[in-house]
Structure 1
Amino acid sequence: MTAEITKNPTGYNATFERHFNHPPEQVWAMLTNNHKINRWFSGLQMAQEGESGHLTLAMGHGKKKEFPITQYEQGKILAFEWGDDHVHFELTPAENGTNVRMIETLPDITGQTPKDVAGWHVALDIMEAILDGHGIERTAEWDRWYPEYKRLFESMGVDFA
């Protein structure tokens, strides 16, 4: 199922709702433990955990981009800047696991937007697959979801031509 795309006062939200059959501690570790993060999002690292912390993303050639943490509640909420966008993860204990809500706040929809939203969709799929103990083919999954998101944004009247 695709993310729900909604208009907000300053742009758009892409909201992903997932249920992982794993306790919140294990899901939280996927978001904050660098060994685990690197398995679902290559190059992303928790440089400094906590409210005044930040994540980094390796951009190649030794360059890194820094993403300040904007909201942090141990084991429950991790939110950070993502370029012009904002990413918010919220974990809620549930029967037989954890409900995960991820919201990407987008100030604008560009030709890159469906690619990025498909990327977050696949990242969540990979995170779940890792927790479940099996693999997933990142490129094939992205190739599957990108056209869905492109159609979704086009159905909202966005013209990518």
Structure 2
Amino acid sequence: MLAIVSQNGEGYMARFERVFTAHSVQQVWAYLTDNELLPTWFPELRVGELREGGCMRFLMPDGGDALEMAILDMKPESILEYAWGEDVVRFELYPEDVGCRLVLLEKLSKLTVHTPKDLAGWHVCLDVIGALLDGRTIENRKAEWERWYGQYQEMLAGGLG
């Protein structure tokens, strides 16, 4: 299911939601915050200091200096929000009767030609987390990204949905 993108007073909000029925909040939280697990779904992302006021690090693919992104909100096993360039990424975890619900909110200052690429990227990242939790892999992440990228391009070209 595609993210829901809506306009708000300050820009736009993209909302992704996944339910991991066989996995606890603690297991999902580990994928978001453990530097051993982070690279399995987002190779460039690491935790610097896991606390409000701490930082996430984006490792440059060319080996250059890592970008530090401030952690704006953090509640263990519940909320992780950090700066993402001019935007903000927020993960929220909710325990369910069976498993865990993950909500990813990306607060977008504006829509650009790059927005469908980012949305497709987050979409695939969440699918990869789900696969890894289930003990599976997504063999061709690039092909998955291309499929979702096309759908996000269409969605944004046709108006927000």
Q: Percent identity?
A: 41
Query: How many residue pairs get matched?
Result: 157
CA offsets per residue over residues 33-90 of structure 1, 9 Å max, x none?
A: 0111110001100011011210001112332111100000011000000001100000
Q: How does 1:16-55 map to 2 (within 5 A)?
A: 16-21=16-21, 22-55=23-56
In the TM superposition, residue 17 of structure 1 has moved relative to its aligned partner by: 1.1
Q: 1:146 aligns with which of 142, 146, 149?
A: 149
Structure 1 unpaired stretches of 5+: none
Question: What corresponds to 1:65 in structure 2?
Answer: 67
Moved over 3 A (4+): none
Structure 2 unpaired stretches of 5+: none
Q: Distance in 2 between matches of 1:85 and 1:134?
A: 31
Corresponding position: 1:14 with 2:17: no
In the TM superposition, residue 138 of structure 1 has moved relative to its aligned partner by: 1.1
Q: Distance in 2 between matches of 1:113 and 1:48?
A: 28
Question: What corresponds to 2:98 in structure 1?
Answer: 96
Scaled by the length of structure 2, what TM-score is found? 0.95
Letter in 2 for 1:43: E
In the TM superposition, residue 11 of structure 1 has moved relative to its aligned partner by: 0.7
Scaled by the length of structure 1, what TM-score is found? 0.95
> SS of the counterpart of 1:92?
strand
Question: What corresponds to 2:125 in structure 1?
Answer: 123
Higher mean displacement: 104-113 or 54-63: 54-63
> SS of the counterpart of 2:120?
helix
Letter in 1 for 2:77: G
Q: Distance in 2 between matches of 1:92 and 1:120?
A: 19
> SS of the counterpart of 2:2?
coil
More strand by share: 1
> SS of the counterpart of 1:34?
coil
